[in-house]
Amino acid sequence: MCYIFLLNFCLFLMASTLHAQGLLDALSTGKTRVIDLTYPLNSKNAFWPGESYNSFKHEVLASLEKDGVYSGRYSTPEHLGTHMDAPAHFEPNQPTVDKIPLEDLVGLAVVIDVSLKASASGGDPDYRLKVEDITEWEKRHGTIPQRAIVLLYTGWGRRWADYGRYKNADENGALHFPGFSRESALFLSDTRQVKALGIDTLSVDYGLSGDFPVHHIFNSRGRWLLENLANLDKLPPTGATLIVAPIKIEGGSGGQARVWALIRE
């Protein structure tokens, strides 16, 4: 039993290594398309509208004209712009952002498109991904592989330039944007064993959520999340490899991440 498991695991590692090697070879010969899933950081970036959160700030400390060298400094909440929620974000005794093993930060991307269902014109801005949406997706593209990174494309990136429209608060301050449902998160984490989720909104839990079940389900299993991803409309449903590079803040609950996809042509 144990031996078979080990053998399978070795085969899996060999296949992943060969896949990664092929991808890197193709990158050097220009046969790999690279898509940046990261928004540039600036003072207009969306951030979780919690108490004592603030916008991104950057100031110049020295300039080439005056000082002969250009440098600056910045300040930001961890959960602003394109960023990672480390497992420690919602759960005790889970890794902070600096403790996530680097080998965990590469994976196959699966993209599920709910942009029509969540659109403001005819759709539901409070839409939550259903398990049936996933099984429908699998009928067309095959079973989601273990340790994949599942990305939910909601179309919310079209609102990115306007923080008001992006968080979409009503007159009572309640937020309206789509996300994963509790049931879909449980299915993806426990039945499909995916290692991470990502989304093109402020949160993997939909805007109206008060108890953040998707965060708890993933973080309690030691798994991380990506929020405010850019360019999800440019990714195929399968076939992209994601590289995730979060900032290494010691003890951080998460932080800004450069996220990009490699697609073999």
Segment (H or E) for 254: strand 254-264
Q: Choose the stretch contacting Zn ion; rule: CB under 5 A; options: 31-39, 74-82, 178-186, 255-263.
A: 74-82
Report the residue number, 155 or 255, with the smaller CB distance to Zn ion: 255
State yes or no: residue 205 binds Zn ion (CB under 5 A): no
Q: Is 167 in the site for Zn ion (CB under 5 A)?
A: no
Q: Does 85 bind Zn ion (CB under 5 A)?
A: yes
* Torsion angle of the four alpha carbons 186, 119, 45, 129, in this order, in degrees rounded to the nearest 10: 0
d(CA 214, CA 93) in angstroms, rounded, equals 18
CA distance 24 to 192: 27
Residue, CB closest to Zn ion: 79
What 3-state class would DSSP assign to 108? strand
Scan for tokens 């992209």, then name that residue.
240
Stretch that binds Zn ion, among 14-22, 33-41, 52-60, 85-93 (CB under 5 A): 85-93
Q: Taking the chain, what is the end-to-end CA distance rounded to the nearest angstrom?
A: 39
The reply to whether 195 sits near Zn ion by the rule CB under 5 A is no
Per rule CB under 5 A, is residue 79 in the interface with Zn ion? yes
Q: Pick the closer one to Zn ion by CB: 50 or 164.
A: 50
Residue 216 or 264: the one with the smaller Cβ distance to Zn ion is 216
> For residues 248 and 257, what is the distance between their CA atoms, to the nearest angstrom?
9
State which residue, 144 or 152, has the beta carbon closest to Zn ion. 152
Question: Considering only 61-69, 82-90, 173-181, 244-252, which stretch makes contact with Zn ion by CB under 5 A?
Answer: 82-90
Query: What's the rounded Cα separation, in Å, for the pair 59 and 178?
Result: 34
Binding site for Zn ion (CB under 5 A): 79, 85, 227
